């Protein structure tokens, strides 16, 4: 099967998942009811469900899945490590730290969130963006001083570890209701974004994808080795900074608005490589993006528990999908003797 055919097949799966996500939920809707709700212009309970809740949620799932999986792909190529992902640099941890500070100590500065839904708070999103960008700027500074991949990877892991320790310390001295609200944020949510926020995510995703399209040839040259890239006239340091910046922005913006969503960025790039059987970024980036969007859509459908009145945390569903995949991947690598 050609790579073009595989990409078309993935787009069809993504489209099918999108329709299913509009049909399934606590209230089951038929495709004709969805079409009527979207295009009739009449106000009804079905149009409210679709336009106000399910449509923005499905679009958010697609954007988040694409952004996190592209971020994971870039990280794995950057560090030449198959187990690297959006969380490995500590960008998501930085977002989590600032959210923890806001939720659990913000009332000291008169920033109490009161009874506001934690997933619909602009202050929480703003705090997460500041945290993610602070870690990203720190990593860029370290990258300019020390250009070794392994050192940067270890620094990212150390940042994550140190941030987790600080969050645990804050939790230790916090009130139970604040801890509960923070834990609720860490479970992730795709259904709390306004159309304005979704538009912002779409623009950010398009900007990042445009950057990757511009540097697609240097990316492929780097895949063949830094020496080869230098011989081809690639400005390796500039490309490395762009990769780091793009990956950090993609992971940071999704964490800011949807909470930390794990395993998508780690597992999806491996699936795409198996589907497309190539390492060329011109095929892998669109393939990974479409696969990531489709998988997070189906994870969200499972989280909805169709026909039931409750919703599972999206992070729980992605972890149940991602953890077995990582274990299988490690075992297959070990058995084939290619794991190092």
Q: Where are the domains of the chain?
A: 3-336
Cα 285 to Cα 337: distance, rounded to the nearest angstrom: 27
CATH number, domain 3-336, options 1.10.1740.10, 1.10.3470.10, 1.10.10.10, 3.40.50.450: 1.10.3470.10
If one compares 212 and 82, the residue with the highest pLDDT of the two is: 212
Cα 150 to Cα 54: distance, rounded to the nearest angstrom: 42
Please say if the pLDDT value at position 117 is more than 70.
no
Give mean pLDDT, residues 65-72: 91
Shortest CA distance to 289 belongs to which of 270, 261, 269? 269
Share above pLDDT 70 across residues of the chain, in percent, rounded to a whole number: 88
284 backbone dihedrals φ, ψ, rounded to 5°: -70, -40
Nearest 5 degrees, angle CA 199-CA 205-CA 206? Answer: 90
Give mean pLDDT, residues 241-250: 84
Task: Identify the DSSP state of 44.
Answer: -
Find out whether 266 and 72 touch, Cβ atoms under 8 Å: yes
For the CA atoms of 237, 241, 244, 248, the dihedral, rounded to the nearest 10 degrees, stands at 170
For residue 330, what pLDDT is reported? 64
Cα 79 to Cα 151: distance, rounded to the nearest angstrom: 10
Find out whether 113 and 181 touch, Cβ atoms under 8 Å: yes
Q: What is the pTM (predicted TM-score) of this model?
A: 0.84
Tens-place pLDDT, residues 266-321? 888 888 888 888 888 889 999 999 999 999 999 988 888 766 777 788 888 888 87
List of residues 6+ apart from 214 with CB closer than 8 A: none
How sure is the predictor about 35, in pLDDT bands with cuts at 50, 70 and 90?
Answer: confident
The secondary structure of 262-317 as a DSSP string is -SHHHHHHHHHHHHH----HHHHHHHHHHHHHHHHHHHHHHHH-TTSS----HHHH
Tally of CA atoms within 13 A in the half-sphere of 201 that contains its CB: 29
How sure is the predictor about 128, in pLDDT bands with cuts at 50, 70 and 90?
Answer: confident
Burial of 83 (0-12, 13-18, 19+ CB in 10 A): middle
CA 290 from centroid of its chain's CA atoms = 13
For residue 270, what pLDDT is reported? 85
118 backbone dihedrals φ, ψ, rounded to 5°: -65, -30
Cα 237 to Cα 218: distance, rounded to the nearest angstrom: 11
For the CA atoms of 250, 251, 254, 256, the dihedral, rounded to the nearest 10 degrees, stands at -120
Please say if the pLDDT value at position 115 is more than 90.
no
Tens-place pLDDT, residues 140-169? 777 677 767 677 778 778 888 888 888 888
Shortest CA distance to 290 belongs to which of 56, 12, 5? 12
CA-based torsion, 211, 130, 85, 265: positive or negative:
negative
Helix segments in the chain, DSSP class H? 3-23, 31-39, 45-49, 55-79, 91-105, 122-145, 149-172, 176-186, 195-214, 216-223, 226-231, 236-258, 264-276, 281-304, 314-336
Task: Please provide the size of the chain in residues.
Answer: 340
Among all chains, which residue has been given the structure tokens 């499972």? 302
For residue 266, what pLDDT is reported? 82
How sure is the predictor about 336, in pLDDT bands with cuts at 50, 70 and 90?
Answer: low
> Could you tell me the two tokens for 87?
């969380």
């Amino acid at each position: 099967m050609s790579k073009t055919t595989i990409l078309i097949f993935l787009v069809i799966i993504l489209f099918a998942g999108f329709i299913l996500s509009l049909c399934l939920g606590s209230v089951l809707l038929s495709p004709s009811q969805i079409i009527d709700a979207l295009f009739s212009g009449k106000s009804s309970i079905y149009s409210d469900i679709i336009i106000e809740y399910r449509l923005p949620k499905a679009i958010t799932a697609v954007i988040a899945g694409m952004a996190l999986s592209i971020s994971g792909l870039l990280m794995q190529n950057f560090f030449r490590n198959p187990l690297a992902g959006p969380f490995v640099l500590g960008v998501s941890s930085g977002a989590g730290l600032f959210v923890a500070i806001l939720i659990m100590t913000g009332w000291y500065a008169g920033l109490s969130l009161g009874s506001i839904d934690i997933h619909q708070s602009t202050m929480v999103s703003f705090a997460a963006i500041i945290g993610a960008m602070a870690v990203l700027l720190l990593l860029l500074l370290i990258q300019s001083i020390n250009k070794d991949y392994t050192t940067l990877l270890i620094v990212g892991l150390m940042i994550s570890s140190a941030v987790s320790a600080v969050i645990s310390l804050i939790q230790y001295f916090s009130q139970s209701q604040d801890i509960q609200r923070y834990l609720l944020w860490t479970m992730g949510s795709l259904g709390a974004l306004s159309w304005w926020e979704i538009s912002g995510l779409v623009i950010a995703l398009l900007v990042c994808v445009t950057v990757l399209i511009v540097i697609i040839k240097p990316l492929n040259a780097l895949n063949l080795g830094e020496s080869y890239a230098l011989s081809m006239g690639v400005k390796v340091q500039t490309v490395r900074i762009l990769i780091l910046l793009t990956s950090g922005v993609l992971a940071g913006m999704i964490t800011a608005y949807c909470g930390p969503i794990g395993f998508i960025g780690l597992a999806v790039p491996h699936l795409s490589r198996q589907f497309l059987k190539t390492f060329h970024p011109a095929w892998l980036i669109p393939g990974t993006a479409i696969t990531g969007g489709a998988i997070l859509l189906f994870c969200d459908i499972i989280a909805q528990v169709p026909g039931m009145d409750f919703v599972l945390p999206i992070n729980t569903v992605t972890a149940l999908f991602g953890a077995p995949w990582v274990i299988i991947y490690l075992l297959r690598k070990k058995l084939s003797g290619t794991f190092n």
